[in-house]
Structure 1
Amino acid sequence: MIILGIDPGLTCTGWGVIAKAGSRISHIANGQIRTDKDASMADRLLELDREITDVVARYHPDFSVVEEIFVNVNPQSTLKLGQARGVALVALARAGLPVSEYPSKVVKKALVGTGGAAKGQVQAMLGVLLPGVKLKGEDAADALAVAITHAHHLGSHR
């Protein structure tokens, strides 16, 4: 089965695609969608929708998973993150994909063993779980991590 993970953000949305066969997972692709900070909010959200739709069309995932929002100190940042996350959820639902969601603490615990793990620890574990993976950035790494979390959860529910 193919799992698409999304780490939403208005400036940069990460995505990662993995395959799960039994208990084995493997890397397929990862990347980041960057929007133009000078474009209107509507144009930036439209760009996110187009790019996520393109990733879905390219890789044909069976499942999708989106990292849940954490509340920033700045309410304006939280609102923008929520709008980007909403676009991701709509794009995935429009494609007919089942969409799951996990908070970052659950993702960190699933990969590293502690919900308070640093980004560097998560990225190091990605190197162990997906040997040879070339990460396209921090947001792509987070997207792969959320996809792996879902793969682990799928295995425990079956």
Structure 2
Amino acid sequence: MPATQRPRPAPAVELLPKIILGVDPGTQIMGYALIEVRGQRVDVLCYDVINMKALGSNHAVKLKRIFDRMLELIDEYLPDELAIEAPFFGVNVQSMLKLGRAQGVAIAAALSRQIPYVEYAPTKVKQSVTGSGSATKEQVAHMLRQTLTLPPIAEASKFLDATDALAVALCHHYMKGNNTTVSGGKSWGKFLAENPERLGASTGTGKKKAPAKS
């Protein structure tokens, strides 16, 4: 009589890979970064910016650019969660309104793919990465270089906006998503796994869509 085989244990939840999309909102340049987390290991998939300086003064055009690029990133990397920085309450009212719209559009793109989001205050992001809530952009970037193996980025002038977004994603990892109320349901990646035919419908093709240049 053959020996009874014991069922193999399921992998620990904390060791399952998770992809986090970090966003630093902006109306001229918006930083974004994607990291893959497995346990305590963090791999940087990409970090870059959406550069909207050439789009002129039409704010609606910029918002559409943000929405479209966010969907491209989501369909390319299938993130499980969005971590986004809250607007900084230190600029004039008009700038705050525009920045809030940019943040809202990025969140709306994630929610349209059923991706939950968490919002972090700028001081929380800086503190989680550097230990100081008053750290400069340069100090944040320096600490990330010390902590992570960063892939090359094309232009040094946009490096700090991209590393700010990377800091938001890393902050979310450190906080384990326990900062504030999250919205949304299951991740876009899990949704596509259950409904593979929807990938072609979302991008207009059944193949993975290459990201457009920022």
Correspondent of 1:88 among 94, 102, 106? 106
CA distance in structure 2 between the aligned counterparts of 1:134 and 1:2, rounded to whole angstroms: 20
* Bigger mean CA offset, 37-46 vs 65-74: 37-46
Correspondent of 2:169 among 132, 140, 147? 147
Q: Tell me the matched-pair count.
A: 157
Correspondent of 1:75 among 93, 111, 114? 93
1:23–1:155 contact (8 Å) kept in structure 2? no
What TM-score results when the alignment is normalised by the length of structure 1? 0.92
Q: Which runs of 5+ in 2 are unaligned?
A: 1-17, 180-214
The higher-RCO structure (CA 8 Å, 6+ apart) is 1
Q: Which runs of 5+ in 1 are unaligned?
A: none
CA distance in structure 2 between the aligned counterparts of 1:75 and 1:69, rounded to whole angstroms: 12
CA distance in structure 2 between the aligned counterparts of 1:86 and 1:155, rounded to whole angstroms: 19
1:5–1:17 contact (8 Å) kept in structure 2? yes
Q: What's the C-alpha RMSD, in Å, of the aligned pairs? A: 1.7
Larger radius of gyration, structure 1 or 2? 2
CA distance in structure 2 between the aligned counterparts of 1:13 and 1:111, rounded to whole angstroms: 20
Correspondent of 1:25 among 28, 39, 42? 42
Name the structure where strand makes up a greater proportion of residues.
1
Equivalences for residues 45-124 of structure 1 within 5 A:
45-124=63-142
CA distance in structure 1 between the aligned counterparts of 2:87 and 2:178, rounded to whole angstroms: 24
CA distance in structure 1 between the aligned counterparts of 2:44 and 2:60, rounded to whole angstroms: 32
CA distance in structure 1 between the aligned counterparts of 2:140 and 2:88, rounded to whole angstroms: 17
The runs of at least 4 consecutive aligned structure 1 residues that moved more than 6 Å come to none
Tell me which amino acid in the other structure corresponds to 2:45.
I
Q: How far did residue 20 of structure 1 move?
A: 0.6
* Bigger mean CA offset, 2-11 vs 123-132: 123-132
CA distance in structure 1 between the aligned counterparts of 2:114 and 2:178, rounded to whole angstroms: 24
CA distance in structure 1 between the aligned counterparts of 2:38 and 2:178, rounded to whole angstroms: 14
What TM-score results when the alignment is normalised by the length of structure 2? 0.69
Among all aligned residue pairs of Structure 1 and Structure 2, give the percentage whose two residues are the same amino acid.
Answer: 36
